[in-house]
Amino acid sequence: MCETKKLPELFGSLVFNEGTMKERLSSASYSAWKKCVTEGTPLDLSTANEIAEAMKQWAVEKGATHFTHWFQPMTGVTAEKHDSFIAPVGGGKIMMEFSGKELIRGEPDASSFPSGGLRATFEARGYTAWDPTSFAFIKEGSLCIPTVFCSYSGEALDKKTPLLRSMDEVSRQAVRILRLFGDTETKRVTAQVGPEQEYFLIDKALYEKREDLRMCGRTLFGAKPPRGQELEDHYFGAIRPRVAAYMKDLDETLWALGVLSKTKHNEVAPAQHEMAPVFSDANSACDQNQLAMEMMKKVADRHGLVCLLHEKPFAGVNGSGKHDNWSLSTDTGKNLFKPGSTPRQNAQFLLFLAAFVKGVDDYQDFLRATVAFPGNDHRLGAQEAPPAVLSIFLGDELSAVVDSIINDTDFQSTGKRTLKIDVDSLPAIPQDNTDRNRTSPMAFTGNKFEFRMLGSSQSISGPNITLNTIMAEELEQFADELEVSRDFQADLEKLIRRVFTEHQRIIFNGNGYDEAWLEEAGKRGLSNLTSTADALPMYTAPKNVDLFVKHGIYTKEEIEARAEIHIENYSTVICIEARTMTDMIRRQILPAVSAFAGDLCSRAGTKKDLGACCQYEVSTACQIGSLTDALMAASDKLETDLSAIPADAAEAMRYSHDVLIPDMDTARRAADQLETLTSSDRWPFPTYSDLLFSV
Ligand code: ADP
Ligand code: MG
């Protein structure tokens, strides 16, 4: 459908974007919308009515028949409830209708969405309210209107509301700092985000044969294939035709939806790929990433493929993450993390850098908690991707600058000038864009930070809410201090030196995978929360609750509700995996290996009668026999332990981690060994070689 269109025409063709609004709205309504978006002024109902009418006409022209408020409940995926535009007009006829009221507010039944206890059961109503800062778009015949989702009493039940709150807050505090540096122009500072999305593609027919993939999104069994990622031939390798066709279709689908899909390439593991969009404001980046994940799956289906977004679909090869590139920019077009060419710009850059370093150090535990969920436990701290310890990579050049500030010494790298924070003598800070340290969880890459601990399946909202909020907190502290200063330059210098000195422990430029680093990190007092069960309790640590409450991002109840949802989710996911595992063991693996061993025994009997050698049959049947018993025992234990799961959510999380996961590991070991002994035509489902090299 899209192929004949030229790209600029195709791009955003399904989006009711600013250009379309300019074209279709009266100039008064367009200006009212613009003012609403840039200054936060509310829209009156007559403007909303006009926008709704224009949206409807545009959507109907494009073939839409329905509209839906599109929102992001705390499940981490998107939700939608479709209403058609039709309204009866008598005589068996209809007209197409859509009012400003319907645009602005919806009332979906919220009772089946997780609320973490926020919404009393007697009050099932939830409200969705239009987010005019994110464009409406058409998806599968429905006009989708991005909305926030809250309870009857106004508590946020979604992932968009707090993100918008955090964007406002970081803007407010950043503008205060800019004023101190004489910037009187900037009205708003916006968090910019570019999420790189990794995924696996496998053949759909093979996927269908694996209950674990269908139920859990990852394999629970699978012996190591003869070939994994050892040859290092996949990363950036030539893209195979079927994958290329998928990527082309995906790009066109995303472009039509206004998603700025920019790069695509093969990733490290076989069957693994990546898509990265051009960065945009954090709110649309989050919406667009949700849309991208949805489309990745849907487009795969059209190609007889399945797109796996799970963090660890296959043991033994790399898992999938999401690199969250984050920066702050002004409405005058300046990136606040770009070192400048003048001393004044550099002093400002160093102050923002200091705020970031302090924020990550102060809230490392919370940042870790925002990326904690069962799928990500297979990556973080598990010898791949970044470690579970948070640290910041600054690169050698910038670290040398920071060191010279701390030690009040010459800036060695340029060699020529003394670096004093005393604004006038600041040298140009060299830009180090050559970051190839892939082991750091938080890397400065020239003009932005790359937060690399996110899992591929997760909403990027939580981590960005946190980055925005910790930045707002530190900038607020700095502004409070500097606004009352009588000698700005001297106090600025002192503050920057003090902050870098107090928080230098979080800066680490070495190899994050190294065991020695974990030891060193321990000595530095950095937290090492190796699993979700260890990390999630940090959600409600008093200092973290205080931070979010103080900045109005979450109320105490909202943050507690979120913690509860994540904690419950943990044991729910582990229990589903455990049940799937026992099901596959009982109904697929045990019968298959038993039948195969039985065949071996009867063949051995026949051979023996004939006086032929039967060593293979006998020894294999014996090995299979003892592994089969071990597998049955492991499965029995898993079932027994599953039935003893504690009722309390926090205890259930601990128990799932401490008891069920080791049980599952034991069962898997026996099953994977059995796979290597069983005739390939008797193994009940596709193997790793089948799956990883299927496309
Ligand atoms: P790499 O794979 O080397 O990390 P990519 O180019 O694949 O780099 O991805 C970098 C991502 O960072 C892209 O989404 C890009 O748009 C985004 N990005 C670039 N500059 C900024 C910025 N100032 N703020 C936020 N994101 C940015
Ligand atoms: Mg990257």
- pLDDT tens by residue, 458-513: 999 999 999 999 999 999 999 999 999 999 999 999 999 999 999 999 999 988 88
Q: Rounded to 5 degrees, what are φ and ψ at 335?
A: -90, 120
User: What's the confidence (pLDDT) of residue 520?
Assistant: 96
The amino acid present at 490, given as its one-letter code, is A
Residue 397: C-alpha distances to residues 346, 350, 422, 444 (Å): 14, 13, 20, 11
Pairing of strands 86-90, 93-96: antiparallel
Examine the pLDDT at 123 and tell me if it is beyond 80.
Answer: no
> Contact 641/663 with Cβ under 8 angstroms?
yes
- pLDDT tens by residue, 222-270: 999 888 887 777 777 888 899 999 999 999 999 999 999 999 888 888 9
Residue in the structure block whose two tokens are 């645009």: 103
How many CA atoms, within 13 angstroms, populate the side-chain half-sphere of residue 583?
12
CA of 465 to the centre of ligand 2 (A): 20
Closest CA to 368 of 524, 535, 540: 535
Residue 454 token pair: 């996110």
CA of 169 to the centre of ligand 2 (A): 27
Name the residue at shortest CA distance from atom 14 of ligand 1. 194
Average model confidence (pLDDT) for the chain?
A: 92
**Distance, C-alpha 542 to centroid of its chain:** 25
Q: Supply the ipTM of this predicted assembly.
A: 0.96
- Beta-carbon neighbours within 5 Å of ion ligand 2: 196, 323
User: Crossing angle of helices 661-677/556-584, nearest 10°?
Assistant: 30
Rounded CA separation 451/607 (Å): 63
- Exposure string of 535-564, with b = 16+ CB inside 10 Å and e = fewer, is bbbbbbeeebbebbeebebbbeebbbbbbb
- Residue 418: which pLDDT band, with cuts at 50, 70 and 90? very low
Rounded CA separation 311/315 (Å): 10
What's this model's pTM, rounded to 2 decimal places? Answer: 0.94
> For the chain, what is the radius of gyration of the CA atoms?
28
- pLDDT tens by residue, 643-687: 999 999 999 999 999 999 999 999 999 999 999 999 999 999 999
> Contact 540/390 with Cβ under 8 angstroms?
no
> Contact 282/39 with Cβ under 8 angstroms?
no
CA of 569 to the centre of ligand 1 (A): 31
Closest CA to 63 of 2, 14, 12, 135: 14
Structural domains in the chain, CATH included, are 7-156 (3.10.20.70), 166-554 (3.30.590.10), 569-692 (1.20.120.1560)
DSSP string for 130-150: E-TTS-EEEETTEEEEEEEEE
User: What's the confidence (pLDDT) of residue 514?
Assistant: 85
Rounded CA separation 198/192 (Å): 20
CA of 360 to the centre of ligand 2 (A): 19
Q: Percent of the chain, pLDDT > 70?
A: 94
Residue 158's DSSP bridge partners are 73
Q: Which atom of ligand 1 is nearest to the CA of 278?
A: 16
Ligand with the closest atom to the CA of 452: 2
| ∠ Cα 505 508 514 (to 5°) | 115
Q: Which residues line ligand 1 (CB under 6 A)?
A: 192-194, 196, 263, 276-279, 323, 325-327, 335, 447-448, 450
The amino acid present at 320, given as its one-letter code, is S
Query: What's the mean pLDDT in 357-384?
Result: 93
Examine the pLDDT at 125 and tell me if it is beyond 90.
Answer: no
User: What's the confidence (pLDDT) of residue 111?
Assistant: 77
User: What's the confidence (pLDDT) of residue 436?
Assistant: 64
The residues, ordered by sequence, that sit 6+ positions from 400 with a Cβ below 8 Å of its Cβ are: 411, 412, 413
CA of 260 to the centre of ligand 1 (A): 12
**Distance, C-alpha 158 to centroid of its chain:** 15
Residue 301 token pair: 């289906």
- pLDDT tens by residue, 70-115: 999 988 899 998 999 999 999 999 999 999 999 998 887 777 788 8
Rounded CA separation 96/98 (Å): 7
User: What's the confidence (pLDDT) of residue 117?
Assistant: 75
Residue 119 φ/ψ region, left for φ over 0, alpha for ψ in the -120 to 50 degree band, beta for the rest: beta
Q: Percent of the chain, pLDDT > 90?
A: 79
